[in-house]
Copies of this chain bind each other. A is one copy, B any other.
């Protein structure tokens, strides 16, 4: 999917919501556990109930790898289901990969070509040649960690490097990499003020924002500091939506929570 197509979807749906498909067998409704592929059945129901309210789904690969072969199969079925039934959705493999060049190329092919995700999250620590292989695919995107929403973000990401915090250096440096137009960034919502500084460095890039809701970030603050002319934000919610209920009404309740966020987003878009 091109960035322009993503922007069109945002305006059409009046939503910049991304739903995180982080499926934990201990948290899903018990009746699903009797099906052949509980993870896929859960995802399918959530997707069918929410696809018109969001522009993106983001399975975190850890939750699938945790179930070994069966988990990997559920991931394949999930991405194929989205691509076939809802091709207008921007898909994100939240994998946080990164390795030396030829190895990153293997990961990039796995996620962007074979599984056919629109994008994959990557880690910046190994630098340019670990990320560029993910940028080499036309109309595909690498979403690089810049400032994350967890406590450990302050261990290294905010250290001063040459008079500039590391995450700013990461943003700055990456702008000069080959096919940097295919880069987006992960920026946590925990401190909305950071977005002002970030927008000075990457005014036009899309930012994937975890940490709204469960992790304490505020949607209005994030939008007021982080939005650009193209909206430029994908706000992720996982647990708050997919685990809204663990009864038979789980998909219905997920829709209710997704709708609340979509309506807030519609208000925000209108108010601009």
Interface residues of A (CB under 8 A from B): 22, 60, 62-63, 65-66, 68-69, 72-73, 76, 96-101, 103-104, 106-107, 109-110, 114-115, 123-131, 145, 148-157, 159-162, 166, 169-170, 173
Q: CB-CB < 8 A to A98: which residues of B?
A: 96, 123
Question: Which among B22, B63, B101, B150 is the interface contact of A126 at CB below 8 angstroms?
Answer: B150
Given contact pairs A62-B97, A125-B145, A128-B155, a sample of 13 additional A-B residue pairs in the complex whose CB atoms are under 8 Å apart: A60-B99, A65-B110, A66-B107, A66-B110, A68-B72, A68-B114, A69-B76, A96-B97, A100-B148, A124-B155, A127-B152, A131-B152, A156-B170
Q: Are B68 and A110 in contact (CB under 8 A)?
A: yes
Cα–Cα distance between A161 and B159 once the two chains are bound (Å) = 6
Q: Are B66 and A106 in contact (CB under 8 A)?
A: yes
Q: Are A152 and B129 in contact (CB under 8 A)?
A: yes
**Copies of the polypeptide in the assembly:** 2
Q: CB-CB < 8 A to A106: which residues of B?
A: 62-63, 65-66
Q: Are A66 and B109 in contact (CB under 8 A)?
A: yes
Nearest residue in B to A132 (C-beta to C-beta)?
Answer: B152
Cα–Cα distance between A22 and B129 once the two chains are bound (Å) = 18
Q: CB-CB < 8 A to A130: which residues of B?
A: 150, 152
Give, as a whole number of angstroms, the nearest-CB distance from A20 to chain B: 10
Question: Which among B107, B128, B156, B170 is the interface contact of A151 at CB below 8 angstroms?
Answer: B128
Nearest residue in B to A60 (C-beta to C-beta)?
Answer: B103
Q: Are A114 and B66 in contact (CB under 8 A)?
A: yes
Between A106, A114, A124, A152, the greatest number of chain B beta carbons within 10 A of the residue's beta carbon is seen for: A152
Q: Sorted from nearest, which 10 A-B pairs have the closest CB atoms?
A: A127-B152, A127-B155, A62-B106, A159-B161, A66-B106, A128-B152, A129-B152, A100-B150, A65-B110, A62-B103
**Given A99-B96, A100-B149 in contact, is the A157-B125 Cβ separation under 8 Å?**
yes
Q: CB-CB < 8 A to A63: which residues of B?
A: 103, 106
